[in-house]
Amino acid sequence: MQQPPSPPYYAVIFTSELIDGDSSYSQMAERMIALAGEQPGFLGIESVREGSRGLTVSYWESEAAVTLWKSNLEHLQAQELGRKQWYARYTVEVSRVERSYSFGDDA
């Protein structure tokens, strides 16, 4: 996020390692970012990939918004497909941001 909101808010940290990156994975990942952006309580997303390793943090207004996103039908289908064909491993951590500070042009 360029401008984090005032804490508290929620951050979902998604750390993943792909078996084998392919274009179908990239398409799904882009679709999930777009879909997340349409959900209630969505605040922003940061996603960085380096080879097979990916780190994505999505930000949410409340824990309820996190739960709603986790159970979104299209998202559930992507999670299932991911476990079958893309991910060697992943970890999801749901965290509550207690404070934040920024440096830079837009801070």
Stretch that binds its own copies, among 20-28, 31-39, 45-53 (CB under 8 A): 45-53
Q: Is 76 in the site for its own copies (CB under 8 A)?
A: no
Q: Let me know: does 98 contact 104? Beta carbons within 8 Å.
A: no
Q: Is 31 in the site for its own copies (CB under 8 A)?
A: no
Stretch that binds its own copies, among 26-34, 35-43, 49-57 (CB under 8 A): 49-57
> Based on CB atoms, which residue is closest to its own copies, 3 or 23?
3
Q: Let me know: does 59 contact 43? Beta carbons within 8 Å.
A: yes
Q: Is 34 in the site for its own copies (CB under 8 A)?
A: no
- Reported as type and span, the H/E element at residue 65 is helix 63-70
> Based on CB atoms, which residue is closest to its own copies, 31 or 83?
83
Q: Closest by alpha carbon to 26, among 54, 46, 63, 58?
A: 54
Q: Is 42 in the site for its own copies (CB under 8 A)?
A: no
Which residue in the block uniquely carries the two structure tokens 């559930």?
76
| Count of residues that interact with its own copies, criterion CB under 8 A | 40
Q: Closest by alpha carbon to 102, among 46, 49, 63?
A: 46
